[in-house]
Amino acid sequence: MFNHPPRPKQKPHLRWQKLPYPPKIDKRTFVCNIWVNIMRIPKNIKITNNVKTVLDILNDEIKGDVKAALKKMKAGYTMTWVYQGKNDRLFPKTSVDIKNELAVVYPIKGREYDIKNIAEGQEVVMVEMIESYPDPKTKKVYRTPLVVVLEIDKGKIKKGRHYCDPRLSYMYLTKKQVSKLFS
């Protein structure tokens, strides 16, 4: 179940990391090359091992490093897209040959993740972000607002769910259009 950020006097079961824009730099700034900008982590939020694993695997995807990504996944890892895919197929899923699937997806150059929020629960990390990558032929940029829910077991990602509206992906949304979501 997904909860909105708690009121200040409530004790949350999810910890939210609100990422300010534009980012402010201080000695608690966490720098990671998966963002175009710098992400500031509020003082009351700690980057846990599970959050670090998720950030690292996103970074592996940007770098195209399949080998490093596979080390962060449990055997039997699956990703399910929570939408209706091609040919009216409900909830498309990765195959059992995840290594070959990643080898097709990971080489896309110019991929960026603009992370907006991270929430963490018991053995689960949820990331709200904008995924952007250029069309290899036209060089136009696809931008898709999405939420990824990753289940983690013993420090490795065992299962994921990818929530988005795939119709938005093909609209070539501008940065200005997408920014309206967060203003």
pLDDT at residue 40 above 50? no
Number of structural domains in the chain: 1
The answer to whether residue 36 sits within a structural domain is: no
Is residue 7's pLDDT more than 50?
A: no
What's the mean pLDDT when you consider all of the chain?
A: 75
Residue 102 burial (10 A CB sphere; 0-12, 13-18, 19+): buried
Residue 20 resides in a domain: no
Q: Are 13 and 3 in contact (CB under 8 A)?
A: yes
Task: Identify the residue with better confidence: 109 or 122.
Answer: 122
> Which two three-digit tokens encode residue 171?
């609209």
- Contact indicator for 121, 14 with CB cutoff of 8 Å: yes
User: In percent, how much of the chain has pLDDT > 90?
Assistant: 24
CATH code of 90's domain:
3.10.450.50
Give me the amino acid identity at 181. L
Q: Answer whether residue 35 is part of any domain.
A: no
Tokens of 154: 């013993």
Give the pLDDT mean for 35-63: 70
1 has which bridge partners?
Answer: none
Tell me, yes or no, whether 28 lies in a domain.
Answer: no
The pTM (predicted TM-score) of the whole model is: 0.72
Share of the chain above pLDDT 70, in %: 69
Residue 32 has pLDDT above 50, yes or no: no
Domain extent, residue 116, equals: 50-182
Task: Give the per-residue pLDDT at 45.
Answer: 55
Examine residue 8 and state whether it is found in any structural domain, yes or no: no
Residue 67 lies in a domain: yes
Confidence of residue 69 (pLDDT cuts 50, 70, 90): confident
Task: Assess if residue 107 is contained within a domain.
Answer: yes
Specify the pLDDT at position 12.
Answer: 38
- The band of 107, judged by pLDDT with boundaries at 50, 70 and 90, is low
